[in-house]
Amino acid sequence: MNKSFFKKIIFLSITLLLVGAFPFNTIAAEDTAVCNLTNKVAELNNLKNNNEIDYIEKRDAELELGKEVLLETINCAVQEAIDLKTELIKTSIKDRGLADLKTRLSADIDQAINYYRINQGGIRDLDSLGLKKLAQKILDWRTSNYNYIAGKVANLISWTNNQELFNVAENRFAQITKITDNLESSTDKAKFTLREAENSLSEAKQINEQARTDLISFNAPEVSLDLIQKSLEKLSNVYNGFSALSEELNKILPE
Amino acid sequence: MELFELLKKLNNIKPDPEYVEKSKRVIFSAPQLMPESNTWGRVMIGIRIGAVTSLAAIAIIFVSGLFGGKPSSVSALDPVAIRAEAQAIDIQIELTKFGYDNPTTTLKMIVGQITSGKSDSPSKVGENQTDESTSTGEVSINQALELLTEENE
């Protein structure tokens, strides 16, 4: 191996390092971007409350500061959307229907980011009324669109994470059932409690499935959220039964 | 008789002491081809030890299952484990109760709960409900936008 070969290797390594590092640095910069709305808003409030400045001067200063606040607010909204997408991407989803939903929501977040960026474009040229109207437009858009996307994402992540709780509950139910069935001295009370726990588990799973179906639909996130909550409450009832069974059977079992 | 005498003489034949010494040295310096001297041999020994240990462990578990106290499956009735699992569900319920006044906050709480493994009490969680906090810190995006809609009247 000659000298030029080593030179090529070193050059290639450095090139790969630079090429590889570039997008990561970009992502890192986005991820760590800190929104600083508090200071700017405080500054605007102080200016608004300052009556010692000339009216025209104050109006112009308020307009300029208002533009800065709106620009920064949109930056923060973009960051918020990036954070949302990051959490969505991190969630591992095996279910095909929900995986499609994940893809759809990811695209929705991208569109939201585009929406913010487009509206950020002309802020410097706005007058007072234009600034107010744009702020109102973005506020309305967030209420009607972004909250829907974020709600869907939150539900999807929540539902996905809940499945582990369901698996654990099912395993425990199977184990307790085995013990109860094999124990000749199982009391009627224990058997009754087990049946109740079984019914609650069955209902919890059924509602959990309804929540899954609703997630895929275009329904408002509140509907899925309600189902998710109900399925968890039923699952909690199952554990009330497990606790009672644990107490009952531990009395019977030999030390 | 002649043969008998000859056999007696043969019995008295001894190797050359120098040759004996040399042969010993050759034999002792020869490499010992034990199984562990190569990688495959070590792997085989490892497998054998592993298999023996596993069988012993299985036997112990089997025997303790037969003659021990409570069977191992009874751990399914461990009240501490049951309580821990029930609490995990309760925490998850509390998180979903934030509603969707600000789903991003709810999402952050859900994700934070899972990634950090923290078990925020409901009251602690509820404190953040009124503060529409987002990734922006103290002043939320919506609060800033609301301020701007009022500002230029």
The more confident residue out of B116 and A37 is A37
What interhelical angle do A147-182 and A96-120 show, nearest 10? 160
- Cβ burial, residue A191 (10 Å; 0-12/13-18/19+): middle
Closest residue by Cα to residue A78 from A115, A104, A127, A131:
A115
Q: Given this model, what pLDDT does residue A211 score?
A: 97
Q: How far is B90 from chain A (nearest CA, A)?
A: 7
Closest residue by Cα to residue A126 from B145, B152, B139:
B152
Q: Given this model, what pLDDT does residue B128 score?
A: 35
What interhelical angle do A55-90 and B141-151 show, nearest 10? 160
Q: What average pLDDT does this structure show over B70-90?
A: 84
- CB nearest A243 (choices: B76, B86, B143): B86
Provide ipTM, 2 decimals.
Answer: 0.76
Instruction: Find the distance separating the first CA and the last CA of chain A, reported in whole Å.
Output: 74
- Tokens 């990734």 map to which residue? B135
Q: Given this model, what pLDDT does residue B146 score?
A: 93
18-57 in A: which are within 8 Å (CB) of B?
34-38, 40-41, 44-45, 48
Put simply, the answer to whether B103 touches A41 (Cβ < 8 Å) is no
Q: What average pLDDT does this structure show over B94-101?
A: 71
- CB nearest A38 (choices: B135, B137, B149): B137
Hey, CA dihedral for B84, B89, B90, B95, is it positive or negative?
Answer: positive
Chain B touched by A194 (CB under 8 Å): no
Confidence tier at B150 by pLDDT (50, 70, 90): confident
Geometric angle at alpha carbon A35, from A34 and A41, rounded to 5°: 145
Each residue's pLDDT tens digit, A183-232: 877 788 888 999 999 999 999 999 999 999 999 998 999 999 999 999 99
Does residue A14 have a pLDDT over 50? no
pTM reported for the whole predicted model: 0.66
